[in-house]
Amino acid sequence: MTCSVAEADLPLELTPAQAVRAAYPDELATAELALAQRLPVLVECDKELVPYFYAELRARLKKRSLACAYLDGRPAPGAPEGVAMGVMATMIGQLRDAVRGPVGERVVVLPHLDLLTTGSGGLTAEAREVIPLLYENPQILWLGFKDPSFAVPKVIANLFARHVHILGVGRERLAHLVTQRESRKLSRATSFDPYVLYKYVSGLNAVRLRRLLSALDGEDYPEDAKGALGQLRGATLTADLELPDVDLTDDIGGYARVKERLRREILDVLTHKSTLDDPEAIRRVEALVPRGMIFWGPPGTGKTLFAKAMATALGAAVIIVSGPELKSRWVGESEENIRQVFLRARQSAPSIIVFDELDSFAAARGTFTGSGVEHSMVNQLLTEMDGFRKEELVFVVGTTNFVESLDHALLRPGRFEFHLHVPFPDADDRRAILGVHDQKLGLSMSPRALEWAVRRTGDLVEGTESRYSGDHLQALCRQIARTRLRTGASGPVEPDDVEAAMTAYLERPELTTAEEHVVATHEAGHAICAILCEHAPPIDRISIRGDVGGSLGFVQYADRAHRYVVTRAQLLDSICVLFGGREAEGLLLDDLSIGSAHDLERATDIARSLVEELGMGGHGVSVQRYAARAPGHERQLADPTLLAVDEAIRSVLESQRERASRLLREHRGELEALRDLLLERKVIDSAGLDGVLPKRPSRAPTAGASHG
C-alpha cells in the first residue's frame, strides 16, 4: 500500500457540495444519526462551510422525512414590509416564533448561534433573551452552528447532546479533493501524493481548500512544486503568523551540540517521514515526534531564534505569544486567548507556537501569587495539545529562563517531553556568532580583532553582572558598525576598534593618581601569586580601568584545563591568590585599603568549605564536622568541636596568607615591574606579560575571571 494516487483516479471536476460530501462523510453521518434519534447537534466549523454542510445534511434528513427551519435572519419570502429590523433582532424574532409556534417533526437550524450568544466579559443582551427561548420548548430538535473563533456559554453548549468538530480536512480524505488538473500543478509525475500536500493545507476546510486549489496556476508537471505550494502557503497564513527565514547553519553561529540534538531528535525524523510511502510506516514515525518542547537557558541566548530556524527547516509558520499578554482580568478570557492561538496555528499548519516566558503562567502549582487564573491557563494549554491530530504538523515551544519553576505536569512525556538547553556561548560559540555578524554587517574583522573579541567577551558584560549572550555579541558588532559609519573608517576591524566599542560609553570611576597606584599594586599582587601557584589558572588579562562589574580593577583568568574535578591544591591556591592583593598592599604601600574585603570574604568561604563540608582542612576535626552534616545524622556540635573547627579554618587562612606574603617578598622586583606597567598601560593581556612574569605552561583559554 502506498500514499500516491494515480492521476487518472482523481476527479475531473469538483463542486463545493461534492467536496464537502467527500471531505466529511463521518461528520455528516454523526450529525444525521443524532438528529434522527432526536438528539440536538452542535456543529463547530468555519462560517464559510456552514451553508454547504447544512445543505448536504438537509438532503439526508429529507430522506428521513425530517424538515428543517433555517433561522438566518432573512425575512420569509412574501412577508409584509414593515419596520426594518437588524439581522440579530430578526433572528431572535424567528427563534421566538419557532419556539412558541407549532413544532411538528422538524429541525430548527441556528446557523449563527455564536453571534446570538457570544460577548466579551459576560452574557450579551441577546444571549439573555435567547437562552430562555432555547430551553422553553423541550420538543424542539435543535441544530446549531458555531465558528471555532467564538465561544458559546456553557449553558447553551450543554443543550446539545452531540458535538461535531470540524477543523481542516483529514489526511485520508485529501485525495478526494484534488482534481486531475490541480495534481498536474503539484507533481512532476502522473501520480499525486496527498501526504506531501497535506502538511500545507491540514487546517483548511474543504470549501476554502477547493477555492485555493482551483486558483493554482503555473506549468504542468514542474520539476519542483515549490511554486504551487508557495501559492497555497501564502494563502493559509493569518496576520499574526510569519514565515521565518533563519538557517540553522548559516544564521546561527556556534552551538554545535544544540543544533545536532535538534536535528537528530526532530528535523531528521520528519525528513525521514517525507521519504516514506507507506501510510502505516508514516503513522509510526509521526507518533515518535514530540509536539511539545521546552527551550530553556539564560536571556538573550537565542531560544526563539532556534525555534524560528526549526520552523524554516520545516517550512512552518511561527506565532510568538508572550505569557503575560495572554492573561486577562475577565473570567475565562485567558483560556479563550490560548484557544484562539491554537486555532490560528492549526488553521495555518505547519506551524510552531512559541510561548515566550512560559513560566509566567505555567509555574509549579503552589507557587502562584496571582489570581489563580494560571491553573486554568495550564489546563487549557494541555487540553489543546491533547487535541492535536497525529498527522498535523503543529508544534508548541515554550521558552523560559527558569525551567525548574515549570509545572511538572507540563514536563511529563507526551507533553513537553523534549527539553533543549541553550546556555551562554563558550569561546568557540562566541567566535562563530561574531563571525556570523561580521559577515552580515560587512565588518571585515581581522583575525586578531576576532580573537580579542572572543577573549574580551569571556567574562561578565562590563558594567553588569551578566555574562555575554548572543544578543550582547550582536549588539557589540552593531556598535562597531555604527562607529565605523560615523567616523568613515575603512579597512579591517582591529582590536582597538573592538575595545572602543565595548568601553566607549561605560561610566568608569575617575581615579586619582594615588588611587591608581593602590589599585595597580593590588592587582599586581593577585597576578604574581597566580603565576607562581602551580594549580592556579593562567592569566588572560589585567585591568585597572574599573570596567567590569563595578570593580576598580580585575585579573581575568583563562579557564582551567580540568573543569569538572577540583582538588584541594586548587582550592588552597585560590586562597593564596585572593590574599595576594592585600599582601602586596602591605608590602609596597605599608598600608591596607578596604578593597580587600571581598577577597577576604571569598577566601574565608573557601576555607570554611574545605573544613566543614569537604573534609580537606586537616585531620580529625574536619572529618567529624563532615560526618555531623551527613544526611540523617544532623546534630548540634559541642562547643569544643566548634572551637576546633574555627581554629582549623583560621589555620588554613593564615598558612595561605603567609604563603602569599612569602611569594611576593621573594619576587618583589617582578611585583613592582608589573605594577609600573599597569600604571602605564592600564590594561595588559597575556601577550603583554612576557618578560615581566615567568612563563606558565599553556592551557586551554576561555572564560573565567576574578575581580579584586
Query: Under a CB-based contact definition with an 8 Å cutoff, are residues 585 and 593 in contact?
Result: yes
Handedness of CA 292, 392, 259, 400 (dihedral sign): negative
Asked about 27 being catalytic, the answer comes back as no
Burial class (CB in 10 A: 0-12, 13-18, 19+), 453: buried
Residue among 335, 384, 523, 585 flagged as catalytic? 523
CA–CA distance, 453 with 497 (Å, rounded to integer): 10
Q: Which grid coordinates belong to 115?
A: 453571534
CB atoms within 10 A of CB 227: 14
Bridging pattern class, strands 317-322 and 539-543: unpaired
CB atoms within 10 A of CB 173: 18
Could you give the dihedral angle defined by the CA atoms of residues 92, 97, 103 and 106, in that order, rounded to the nearest 10 degrees?
-50
**Omega within 30 of 0 (cis) for the link into 701:** no
CA–CA distance, 250 with 309 (Å, rounded to integer): 10
Which of 411, 404, 456, 454 minimizes the C-alpha distance to 434? Answer: 454
Distances (CA, A) of 305 to 301, 309, 589: 9, 6, 53
Burial class (CB in 10 A: 0-12, 13-18, 19+), 390: exposed
Compute the C-alpha angle 183/188/193, nearest 5°. Answer: 50
CA–CA distance, 234 with 213 (Å, rounded to integer): 13
Q: What share of the chain is helix, strand, coil (3-state, %, to 5)?
A: 50, 10, 35
Query: Under a CB-based contact definition with an 8 Å cutoff, are residues 47 and 147 in contact?
Result: yes
DSSP H helical ranges for 275-332: 279-286, 303-314, 323-326
CA–CA distance, 101 with 129 (Å, rounded to integer): 17
CA–CA distance, 198 with 212 (Å, rounded to integer): 14
Query: Under a CB-based contact definition with an 8 Å cutoff, are residues 631 and 672 in contact?
Result: no
698: amino acid identity, one letter: S
Q: Which grid coordinates belong to 486?
A: 560615523
CA–CA distance, 97 with 91 (Å, rounded to integer): 10
CB atoms within 10 A of CB 608: 18
Which phi and psi (to 5°) does residue 179 adopt? -85, 170
Instruction: Please name every residue paired with 296 in a beta bridge, in sequence order, or none if there are none.
Output: 400, 421
CA–CA distance, 571 with 94 (Å, rounded to integer): 86
In this structure, what DSSP letter does residue 111 have?
A: T
Residues belonging to the active site: 523
